[in-house]
Amino acid sequence: MDESSFAGLIRRCGDSKDLSRAHELYSRLQRSRERHSTYLANLCAHMYGKCGSAKDARRVFDEIQEPNVFSWTILMQAYAANGHLEQVENAFHTMPERDTAAWNTMIKAYASRGRIREARRIFDLMPHKNVISWTAMLTAHANRGEMEQAQELFDKMPHKNTVTWNALLTGAYARHGHLDEAKILFATLPESDKNVVSWNAMLQAYADNRELDGAEHIFWAMPEHNVVSWTAMVTANAKCGRLEQADSVFGAMPERSLVSWNAMMESYSDSAGQGPKTLELFRELELVGLEPNDLSFMSLLNACSHGGLSEQGLSYFGRLKASSAVEGSSLSPSREHYCCIVDMLGRSGRLRDAEELVESMPFEPGVVEWGSLLGACKTYSDVDRASRAVENIVELNPGNRAANSALTLLSNVYAAAGRIREAEAVQTRLRSRTRVRSDGNS
């Protein structure tokens, strides 16, 4: 097989993210007459990075007789794509020469971890910046809501492209609720630079601000719609309390993505009495061949909690936990999933089960979980369990307002149960805490 044929196979394998196939291809390359090709080795390192194995990308790199600047940059990209920031830094500072792509990779790696100051330092040190460099730094500021810095960079850019305009529109303004600024920027954007991403960003900005008229105007003015556009209209209607219209838009969609299904499920899960509809949508989602993700299960469990469907909720939660044990599965119950089940059990009066779940969850229980249990204890007048929940909250946040709020609630629980002496003791404890904090601040 010649170099060109190998290159095509390697690229396709990287796109498929099939690690076992990647091993087969690299082994095959090593046995071929093309085994000394630096070009193919670079492609293999890139393939391994896309397949999620930075370790194998490094192995390929180490076997290159004379790595070039592309080899080093690809190694950096493999580390960055798999979250190994320290190794990205090491490669960046070790490589004998750097191209613009290496500098850009370092900026993006820092930005993806929220280390904006380091990203900006690298950007300012760059000897030659291209539009990708400017856009990467602008996006980093925008994603942090640092609108002034993002706008400053945008104004200084010697050349702007559609990606740059969209970065400022989606990141700095639309995503952070600055609708008026988004409108001005969108109006300024040259028509030749407006694409479906620009239109969708503006549409989403209206939807997020619950301005349905503006969202509808943008939607019908768009030269073309894609699944993102339709999903934004589902969200816009749902956020304005127009569930029937949201459902109508959802039904009219020419195609639906998992994001579309999740948006519709979330809309119903937040509405009283719509638990069964959410479950129905979940079943339909699977019938059309889509795999639910963590957000799908979050909407499902939330609907079960608010709809009093505790048995169904526990069944789906059990399925979620079982899926996480399957090799290769991307599903895993998060803290939010556990908290939702605690809330569901509390709402249905199953306080013992709720407490046991809080104590056995694979995370350190926090104020949210104990607070959810405490609220249920108040509803069902379970004073002893309420007391245990409060002590855990106080232990987690001894000087925090959450602790004082929890103690106040416990006092009310005692009083409602006719246990006045305990209620007064909690009030005394509260006053003592307040005095100590006041003395400490004086």
Distance CA 343, CA 368 (A): 10
pLDDT recorded at residue 442: 43
Among all chains, which residue has been given the structure tokens 């690229």? Answer: 11
Q: What is the mean pLDDT of residues 123-148?
A: 90
Write out pLDDT tens, residues 167-226: 787 765 666 677 888 888 888 888 887 888 889 988 988 888 888 999 999 999 999 999
Distance CA 160, CA 326 (A): 46
Reference 96, options 74, 79, 73, 118; nearest CA is 73
Q: What is the mean pLDDT of residues 293-297?
A: 95
For the chain, the average pLDDT equals 90
Q: What is the mean pLDDT of residues 256-284?
A: 91
Q: What is the mean pLDDT of residues 139-158?
A: 86
Inter-residue contact 367 to 396 (CB < 8 Å): yes
Q: Estimate the share of the chain in helix, then strand, then coil, as percent rounded to the nearest 5.
A: 75, 0, 25
Write out pLDDT tens, residues 331-376: 889 999 999 999 999 999 999 999 999 999 998 999 999 999 999 9
Distance CA 193, CA 181 (A): 18
Is the pLDDT reported for residue 162 higher than 60?
yes
> Which amino acid, one-letter code, is at 145?
G
Q: Which two tokens stand for residue 56?
A: 């194998």
pLDDT recorded at residue 174: 63
Question: What Rg value do the Cα atoms of the chain yield, rounded?
Answer: 27
Higher pLDDT, 247 or 161: 247
Q: What is the mean pLDDT of residues 29-34?
A: 90
Local confidence band at 296 (pLDDT 50, 70, 90 cut-offs)? very high
pLDDT recorded at residue 439: 46
Q: Which two tokens stand for residue 386?
A: 């309420």
**Where is average pLDDT lowest: 2-16, 153-167, 301-315?**
153-167
Q: Is 394 exposed, middle or buried (0-12, 13-18, 19+ CB in 10 A)?
A: buried
What are the boundaries of each domain within the chain? 1-97, 110-179
Q: What is the mean pLDDT of residues 146-156?
A: 87
> Which amino acid, one-letter code, is at 214?
G
pLDDT recorded at residue 398: 66
Reference 374, options 403, 333, 397, 338; nearest CA is 403
Inter-residue contact 301 to 317 (CB < 8 Å): yes
Distance CA 56, CA 117 (A): 31
Is the pLDDT reported for residue 430 higher than 60?
yes
Distance CA 110, CA 442 (A): 42
Write out pLDDT tens, residues 370-415: 999 999 999 999 999 999 999 999 888 766 788 888 999 999 999 9
Q: What is the mean pLDDT of residues 12-27?
A: 91
